[in-house]
């Protein structure tokens, strides 16, 4: 894959996350404009609401950009997704006859505030990273029973909360919950002491289904991908999750990156899932490369201090692709809708510096990390800023996701004291 040159010069720099090859979709506002749909190009954003109003973008089922979210484009289907990408590429390519018309529709990213790029209809979180599941299982159940017996046969997941999905930059308040220390006979209602992050990718469903779909059909239904931090309260989780699963431990917030990177932009980076211990049943079998080679990194910055890199890993570590997860999600007949968000599950690699949560990095608090500032960390402290970043890197081309960041605010004094 080679760089597609644009007349927006900043898009042609080798490390630019948003070259013409990428064209990710977001929602932005400026001091002069309300939130509206935009497309990142270099260090600019193309105002596609204005481009559509002035007739430079015309979609068959349009208008698509009279609302400040991307769900209407999703609902128009894969042919329209491809048509929009063709029109955007034509407008922004080097030598475009439209340059003079389009130039006034560009906004500097530094002047823009980014918002939720789509309305999240529902949110499901999976548990499909083998190293993560093995690490957590070893801590909670011992090395012999690390992976549950179903794990190698189906992508395990749970239905999460769409209402607490927030965009990068949103502050996240430390939750209160019912906790029970191993050395206490009874639970107590306290602020979470083991607040954590989870490094994940989010897949956004763009097409609806009403019945079981195949893995190939599921792949076609996916609109794009974002970075996702599934904030987790480990002490609330440890007490509440047996026998049913995560509930309040995962409900405080889930942060996503503001740019939806389309499947078309990621297509050159498709890779196969890892070698399998058991052949999957036919309805979940891999039918082609449906994972992506995306480098991921997490940094932690204590309040007012420089960040430390906590982990570096890659999305290709997943055992199941988002298409397999989505296919599995529909086997019961569960309908899927545009705006459904699927969390991949925590993405950890085999090595210690590739682990995607504090729980694993500090091994349940037994082996705290030392930050560049000299401070120790087992779990997140108030004022810590967590930043996820990700990019697929080709020969002279970077398909970047931007960042997914959030700062931990102190717990309220007592949420029931009014
Ligand atoms: Ca998770």
Segment 1-45, tens digit of pLDDT: 899 999 999 999 989 999 999 999 999 999 999 999 999 999 999
Q: How confident is the model at residue 417 (pLDDT cuts 50, 70, 90)?
A: confident
Q: What is the pLDDT at residue 395?
A: 87
C-alpha 388 – ligand 1 centre gap (Å)? 14
Task: Say which DSSP state 275 is in.
Answer: P
Specify if 3 maps to a domain. Answer: no
Q: Which domain holds residue 156?
A: 123-409
Number of domains in the chain: 2
Instruction: Report the pLDDT averaged over residues 63-90.
Output: 97
Cα-to-centroid distance, 367 and ligand 1 (Å): 22
| Distance from C-alpha of 205 to C-alpha of 408, rounded to nearest angstrom | 29
Q: What is the pLDDT of residue 62?
A: 85
Which of 115, 135, 161 represents a domain boundary (last residue)?
115
Confidence of residue 184 (pLDDT cuts 50, 70, 90): very high
234-238 LR contacts (CB < 8 Å, sep 24+): 234/192, 234/194, 234/195, 234/196, 234/359, 234/379, 235/177, 235/179, 235/192, 235/193, 235/194, 236/175, 236/177, 236/178, 236/179, 236/192, 238/180
Residue of 132, 153, 272, 283 marked catalytic: 132
Q: Are residues 110 and 133 in the same domain?
A: no
Give yes or no: residues 278 and 295 share one domain. Answer: yes
Higher pLDDT, 201 or 418: 201
Residue 141 above 90 pLDDT?
no
Are 141 and 36 members of one domain? no
- Residue 131 and residue 304 in contact, taking contact as beta carbons nearer than 8 Å: no
| 362 and 252 share one domain | yes
The pLDDT score that the predictor gives to residue 40 is 98
Domain annotation covers residue 1: no
Among the candidates 115, 142, 167, a domain finishes at 115
Give residue 196 CA to ligand 1 midpoint distance, Å.
11
**C-alpha dist (Å) from residue 138 to 133, 146, 154, 344, 347:** 8, 5, 20, 20, 16
Q: What pLDDT, in 10s, does the model give residues 187-246?
A: 999 999 999 999 999 999 999 999 999 999 999 999 999 999 999 999 999 999 888 889
Q: What is the pTM of this model?
A: 0.97
Q: In the annotation, is 153 catalytic? A: no
Q: Domain check: are 179 and 270 in the same one?
A: yes
Rounded to the nearest angstrom, the distance between the alpha carbon of 89 and the centre of ligand 1 is 35
Residues 81 and 141 in one domain: no
Provide the pLDDT for residue 145. 87
- Is residue 416 domain-resident? no
Average pLDDT, the chain: 96
d(CA 126, ligand 1 centre) in Å: 6
Q: Is residue 4 included in any domain, yes or no? A: no
Give 343 Cα–ligand 1 centroid separation in angstroms. 7
In this structure, what CATH number is given to the domain that contains residue 129?
A: 3.90.850.10
How much distance in Å is there from the Cα of 254 to the middle of ligand 1? 9
**Domain-ending residue, one of 115, 140, 163:** 115
């Amino acid at each position: 894959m080679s760089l597609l040159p644009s007349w927006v010069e900043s898009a042609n720099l080798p490390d630019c996350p948003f070259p013409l090859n990428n064209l990710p979709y977001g929602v932005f506002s400026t001091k002069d404009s309300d939130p509206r749909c935009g497309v990142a190009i270099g260090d600019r954003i193309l105002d596609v609401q204005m481009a559509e109003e002035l007739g430079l973008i015309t979609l068959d089922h349009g208008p698509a950009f009279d609302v400040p979210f991307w769900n209407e484009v999703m609902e128009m289907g894969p042919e329209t997704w491809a048509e929009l990408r063709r029109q955007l590429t034509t407008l922004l390519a080097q030598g475009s006859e439209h340059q003079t018309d389009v130039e006034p529709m560009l906004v500097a990213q530094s002047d823009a505030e980014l918002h939720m790029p789509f309305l999240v209809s529902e949110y499901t979180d999976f548990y499909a990273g083998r190293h993560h599941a093995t690490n957590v299982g070893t801590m909670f159940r011992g090395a012999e029973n690390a992976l549950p017996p179903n794990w190698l046969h189906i992508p395990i997941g749970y239905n999460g909360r769409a209402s607490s999905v927030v965009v990068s930059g949103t502050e996240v308040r430390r939750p209160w919950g019912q906790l029970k220390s191993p050395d206490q006979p009874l639970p107590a209602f306290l602020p979470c002491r083991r607040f954590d992050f989870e490094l994940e990718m989010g897949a956004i469903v763009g097409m609806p289904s009403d019945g079981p779909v195949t893995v190939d059909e599921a792949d076609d239904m996916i609109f794009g991908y974002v970075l996702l931090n599934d904030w987790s309260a480990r002490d609330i989780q440890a007490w509440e999750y047996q026998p049913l699963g995560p509930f309040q431990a995962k409900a405080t917030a889930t942060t996503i990156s503001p740019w939806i990177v389309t499947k078309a932009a990621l297509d050159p980076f498709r890779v196969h899932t890892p070698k399998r211990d058991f052949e999957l049943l036919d309805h979940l079998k891999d039918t082609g490369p449906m994972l992506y080679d995306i480098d991921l990194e997490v940094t932690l910055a204590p309040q007012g201090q420089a960040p430390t890199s906590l982990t570096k890993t890659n999305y290709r570590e997943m055992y199941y692709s988002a298409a397999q997860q989505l296919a599995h999600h529909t086997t019961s007949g569960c309908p899927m809708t545009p705006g459904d968000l699927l969390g991949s599950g925590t993405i950890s690699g085999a090595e210690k510096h590739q682990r995607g949560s504090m729980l694993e990095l500090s091994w349940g608090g037994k082996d705290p990390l030392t930050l560049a500032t000299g401070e120790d960390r087992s779990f997140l402290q108030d004022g810590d800023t967590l930043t996820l970043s990700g990019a697929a890197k080709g020969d002279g081309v970077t398909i970047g996701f931007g960042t997914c960041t959030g700062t931990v605010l102190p717990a309220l004094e007592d949420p029931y004291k009014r």
